[in-house]
Homo-oligomer: A and B are copies of this chain.
Amino acid sequence: MNSFQEKSLQRFADTNKNRARFLIKCPDQQGIVAAVSHFLHRHNANIVESNQYTLDPAGGEFFMRIEFVCHNLENKREELENDFGAIADHFNMDWKLMFVEDMKNIAIFVSKEIHCLLELLWEWQSGDLMGNISLVISNHETAREIVESFGIPFYYIPANKNIRHEVEQKQKQILKENHIDVIVLARYMQILTPDFVEDFENRLINIHHSFLPAFVGANPYKRAYERGVKMIGATSHYVTNDLDEGPIIEQDIERVSHAHNEAGLKKIGQSIERRVLSRAVKWHLEDRIIVHQNKTIIF
């Protein structure tokens, strides 16, 4: 850990000591906002940021993210959670209360292409990605040197489709021991089993190197080149058991032209992948994402 990062962490801790967030999902009905805001008012909490969205105002689903500060929060955690229970029951809410100073533990999975891993490490080192990068797991030794230079443990676990089960057992063991909250697949070129994916539902973030749903599957840059598209993109999404079909978190694109060959597309694409994955991970860490019916609401 360098001095920038130390200062960033200190600043983060200072700012966020008394800060928390509700993420709420429930059937739309009258009085939800009134109840939640009344609850916070009663507990002397001050709303810092509030977002809501109603899917189909004529009787659909309601979503809310509300961030607040509350004096002496560390001693009120339990009280807040208990008191909110009654409201949540009344409105039939699916909800979470997160305390901002509890930083999430991140595991990064990577294979041979390391540009996305590097971006995350750089952002983390600069104090812009506020989570603990606890460890990196790879089926290649390629990234070891760089990862360890950041003082982060690197686990080499060779993998192929015939030993998938054993590999995942080892990975799960490591993830468990390190209390991992979220896994980032930063160009990890192995398919995960349904069991593994379910264990990390909505906590398993992938980067796909195309503007999904264009070029689902392998070799998107090659296929983009062959199709002659005028823009290429990247997509970050939560992983589900339908390949490249999970809820999209973020996408971005850049213009290309006939003058770019496949290698040129790939180089541009990698810079898009870097920023798309980095944004998606940050939004996850800031509890800005609610998943509903294979789509994301980003607050």
Contacts and interface: CB of A to CB of B under 8 A. Distances in A.
Interface of A: 2-4, 28, 30-31, 33-34, 37-38, 40-41, 44, 46-50, 52-54, 56-57, 69, 114-115, 118, 122, 126, 128, 145-146, 149, 211-215, 227-231, 233, 247-253, 257-259, 261, 267, 271, 275, 294-298
Contacts of A47: 33, 52, 54
A258 B37 contact: no
Contacts of A46: 28, 30, 57
A128 B295 CA distance: 28
Given A30-B46, A33-B33, A230 B257 contact: no
Contact of A267 (B128, B213, B248): B128
A44 B57 contact: no
A149 B31 CA distance: 50
Contacts of A248: 227-230
A244 B84 CA distance: 50
B228 A295 contact: yes
A126 B196 CA distance: 32
Nearest to A62: B47
A34 B30 contact: no
B267 A253 contact: no
A2 B145 contact: yes
Contacts of A230: 248-251
Nearest to A34: B37
Given A2-B146, A115-B126, A230-B248, A41 B34 contact: yes
Contacts of A4: 114
13 contacts: A28-B46, A30-B46, A33-B50, A38-B38, A47-B52, A53-B259, A118-B126, A228-B248, A231-B251, A231-B252, A257-B298, A258-B295, A271-B275
A228 B115 contact: no
A49 to B, nearest CB: 8
Contacts of A38: 34, 38
The 6 closest A-B pairs by CB, nearest first: A228-B295, A34-B37, A214-B214, A33-B37, A258-B297, A34-B38
A44 B30 CA distance: 8
B211 A231 contact: yes
Contact of A215 (B213, B231, B251): B213
B57 A48 contact: yes
A118 to B, nearest CB: 7
